[in-house]
Amino acid sequence: MSEYTFSLEMDVRDYECDIQGIVNNAVYQNYLEHARHEYLKQVGIDFVELARKGINLVVVRAELDYKMPLISGDKFRVDLKMERESRIKFAFYQDIVRLSDEKTMVKGKIIGTALNTRGRPEIPDELNRLLE
C-alpha cells in the first residue's frame, strides 16, 4: 500500500449485488469514482466548482481487471495514486482490496483529462500542480 497516496474504506451494500450474490461488475466503477472524488476533495480540488467554471474532468478510458468478487457485507478499501500520462491526460491507478484478508479484488487504471470551456483538452493549473 505504500505506493498509494490515498485510501478510502467502504462497505458492500445488499442492493449492489446481483442475483448471484456478488457485487455487480458495474458497481466497482462507482466505488472507484467515489474514491477519486474523495481524493480530489482531500487535495483541495473541488470537482463541482471546476464544473461551475466550465472545466469538466472526464474519463476517457477505464481498464478493470476483476480478480475476485466482493459479496454483501464485505468491507473493502480503495487505494489510489494519480500520475500524469501525457500533456493532456492523467491516470488514476486504483485497487480494491478486501479488508478481511487484504486480497486484491479489482485492479484498475482510469485515464482522464479535463475539458476547458471550449470543450478542448486542457489540464487546469490546480491539477497541473498536483501532477508535478
pLDDT tens per residue across span 32-51: 999 999 999 999 999 899 99
- Grid coordinates standing for 96? 480494491
Question: Which residue is catalytic, options 11, 18, 46, 65?
Answer: 18
pLDDT at 59 over 90: yes
How far is Cα 88 from Cα 5, in angstroms, rounded to an integer? 21
pLDDT at 1 over 70: no
Cβ(70)–Cβ(22) under 8 Å? yes
Cβ(43)–Cβ(33) under 8 Å? no
Mean pLDDT of 61-90: 97
pTM: 0.93
Q: What is the 3-state secondary structure (H, E, C) of 13-64?
A: CHHHECCCCEECCCHHHHHHHHHHHHHHHHCCCCHHHHHHCCCEEEEEEEEE
Q: Is 18 a catalytic residue?
A: yes
